[in-house]
Chains A and B, each alone.
Chain A
Amino acid sequence: MTISHHPPEDLLADFAAGKLEEAHQLVVGVHVAGCTRCARFVQAIEQLAGATLEDFEPVPIAPDAFDRVMSRIDNSPEDEAAPPPASATDHDLPPALRKYRIGKRRRIAPGLSMRPIELSGSGKARAFLLRSAPGSRMLEHTHTGTELTLVLEGSFSHEGGRFGPGDFDYGDDEIEHRPVVGDEGPCVCLVAMTGDLRMNGFLGRLIGPFVRL
């Protein structure tokens, strides 16, 4: 897997700092988990964060904080183990995604379906898996917000180049997308989106309401 499209550096730095909202954290995280180049960048930012922490001006903590911590350690030395079991049986999904509850597939248009990913609701962006049939020309659309897309399977191409598995695409309201899905198979993408997709043309107006989740 050769990744040729990466998230911009400031997005990676915000990811490392834990500042991204949940949907964006998810999409960038799945990219980083599969991209050594970006994992290295994230680690460098974490290293800088460690230095910042080490030099940070201390603030007073509760006087009994240490004793409380030690008594919690002594009273339950091994608790909070048992990670929640993966709810989904989608073994073809990246591990980071298996921890989420993923909704049923919904058809949006011929050859186009999506599965919503349940988030905590702490952010404004939604996350979903978008599946498009091979060779299909995706609907011409513009955004009212930002859109982070990560290819999990298959490929698509648009003005910005070809995007295959692991590739990351950043779209904002400046950009008009007209992606064409590759012939090799269906294209499955993990998408984080704020705002609405605005479909252009008759078909777009027809299905637009369904895309608004």
Chain B
Amino acid sequence: MRLFIGASKGPKAKVDWADLIGRVASHGDRAAFKRLFEHFAPRIKGLMQRAGCSSDEAEEIAQNAMIAVWRKASLFDPATAGAAAWIFTIARNLRIDLFRRRARADRLRADSELPDAPDPAEPADAAISRVQDAARIEAAIKQLSTEQSMVVRLSFIEERTHPEIASLLGIPLGTVKSRIRLAMNRLRDILDEEA
């Protein structure tokens, strides 16, 4: 594995994030971590704000997510997940935790007579077994058309409303709905065929 950045590969040049995470894991490589941080922290913050967090909350999630990247680097297995997907799941779980802690705090404030609550539970998805290798999942996703993966990303990941997506892409609202439906079914079919 080698890094392509700086190697005048044009705008398509991609950094091998998995390799950088591996260096953090194997010898606490701070330079590698800094590059991960500089790329992902501002994007985690942006995506979290996009998904409804305040600027402060998004900043907190971004910093905590990067700390988790450092600490859990040795658990990252490039064979089961892409680096960016792995970092996304860390940030996502922190956001879930944050919302639950906030709800619990609100509830305690509203009713100070509530008994002490247990620590917030881990997100339920923490135990998902990684069964598929990342390469096959990646290959399956590539079979979606650009239009299909775009609507899935806008709708589910960026959490945009259907009318918003319609105006962003300049397509009728009905097309947004049917395209999402089609993309979901297609993805399921591709993955079923792969199995």
Q: Which residues of A contact B185 (CB under 8 A)?
A: 9
Q: Which of A25, A54, A73, A78 contacts B125 (CB 8 A)?
A: A25
Q: Which residues of B contact A29 (CB under 8 A)?
A: 123-125, 127-128
Give the most central of A16, A26, A95: most B CB within 10 Å: A16
Hey, what's the 0/1 contact readout for A36-65 against B, CB within 8 Å counting as 1?
A: 110111111111111111101111111001
Q: Which residues of A contact B119 (CB under 8 A)?
A: 84
Q: A65-B62, A69-B66 are in contact. Are A33 and B45 (CB under 8 A)?
A: no
Q: A18-B93, A54-B43 are in contact. Are A61 and B101 (CB under 8 A)?
A: no
Q: Which of A44, A53, A72, A121 contacts B140 (CB 8 A)?
A: A44
DSSP class of B's interface residues: helix, strand, loop or mixed?
Answer: helix
Alpha-carbon gap, A184 to B162, bound state (A)? 46
- Of A96-104, A131-139, A169-177, the one contacting chain B is A96-104
Leading 10 A-B pairs by shortest Cβ distance? A29-B124, A50-B85, A122-B103, A50-B84, A58-B42, A9-B184, A120-B100, A18-B92, A59-B46, A54-B84
Number of interface residues of A (CB under 8 A): 66
Q: A47-B82, A53-B40, A69-B37 are in contact. Are A14 and B128 (CB under 8 A)?
A: no
Q: Which of A36, A42, A50 contacts B83 (CB 8 A)?
A: A50
List 30 A-B residue pairs with CB atoms under 8 Å apart, sorted by A's residue number.
A10-B156, A15-B125, A17-B159, A18-B95, A25-B123, A29-B125, A29-B128, A37-B191, A37-B195, A40-B195, A41-B188, A43-B137, A44-B140, A48-B152, A48-B156, A50-B84, A52-B157, A53-B40, A53-B43, A53-B87, A54-B84, A65-B41, A66-B38, A69-B41, A73-B67, A80-B71, A84-B118, A101-B118, A120-B120, A122-B102
Q: Which residues of B contact A87 (CB under 8 A)?
A: 118
In the complex, residue of chain A having the shortest beta-carbon distance to the beta carbon of B121: A99
DSSP class of A's interface residues: helix, strand, loop or mixed?
Answer: helix
Alpha-carbon gap, A52 to B49, bound state (A)? 14
Q: A29-B124, A50-B88 are in contact. Are A120 and B103 (CB under 8 A)?
A: yes
Hey, what's the 0/1 contact readout for B110-133 against A, CB within 8 Å counting as 1?
A: 000000011111111111111110
Alpha-carbon gap, A118 to B58, bound state (A)? 27
Contact B103 A121 (CB under 8 A): yes
In the complex, residue of chain B having the shortest beta-carbon distance to the beta carbon of A24: B124
Q: A58-B43, A61-B59 are in contact. Are A49 and B88 (CB under 8 A)?
A: yes
Q: Which of B84, B95, B120, B192 contacts A53 (CB 8 A)?
A: B84
Q: Which residues of A contact B85 (CB under 8 A)?
A: 43, 46-47, 49-51
Q: Which of B62, B95, B188 contacts A9 (CB 8 A)?
A: B188
B70 within 8 A of A: yes
B166 within 8 A of A: no
Contact A18 B96 (CB under 8 A): yes
Hey, what's the 0/1 contact readout for A1-42 against B, CB within 8 Å counting as 1?
A: 000000001100111111100100110111011001101111
13 additional contacts, CB 8 Å, given A54-B43, A62-B59, A120-B120?
A13-B152, A44-B191, A46-B88, A47-B141, A48-B156, A48-B157, A50-B87, A51-B82, A52-B47, A53-B44, A61-B45, A95-B127, A96-B127
Q: Which residues of A contact B153 (CB under 8 A)?
A: 48-49, 51-52
B57 within 8 A of A: no
Contact B42 A61 (CB under 8 A): yes
A83 within 8 A of B: yes
Interface residues of B in 149-192 (CB under 8 A from A): 149, 152-153, 156-159, 180, 184-185, 187-188, 191-192
Q: Which residues of A contact B156 (CB under 8 A)?
A: 10, 13-14, 16-17, 19, 45, 48-49
Alpha-carbon gap, A40 to B141, bound state (A)? 11
Contact A53 B88 (CB under 8 A): yes
Q: Which residues of A contact B103 (CB under 8 A)?
A: 120-123
